[in-house]
Amino acid sequence: MKELIEFMARGLVDDRDAVAVAEIRDGRQAVYELRVGEGETGRVIGREGKVANAMRVLVRIAGEKTGERRANLEIV
């Protein structure tokens, strides 16, 4: 799952090396924290949050496919 999030984020930002994903697990629930370089958060969020919402939907669906009860994406 971390690889999926990194792949999506690296396609959106200029500084690909600054992309980092941290995973926090609690049983079958997982929270993924995405960090990008300074000044590039807006690219990941998108206008009116559309890019961020699309990424969250993909993470949620992929989490269901892998057997996780809940998978959430937070952009920090």
Total count of domains within the chain:
1
pLDDT band at 66 (very low <50, low <70, confident <90, very high): confident
Domain that holds residue 25: 2-75
Question: For 28, what's the count of Cα atoms within 13 Å in the CB-facing half-sphere?
Answer: 9
> How far apart, in whole angstroms, are the C-alpha atoms of residue 26 and residue 10?
27
Q: With bands split at pLDDT 50, 70 and 90, how would you rate the model's confidence at 68?
A: confident
User: pLDDT, tens digit, for every residue of 13-42?
Assistant: 999 999 999 999 988 889 999 999 999 999
Say which CATH number the domain at 35 has.
3.30.300.20
pTM of structure: 0.89
Query: In the prediction, which pLDDT does 26 show?
Result: 87
59 is written with which tokens? 């993470």
DSSP alpha helices (H): ranges in 1-76?
2-10, 41-45, 50-65
Torsion of Cα atoms, 75 then 4 then 32 then 61, to 10°: 100
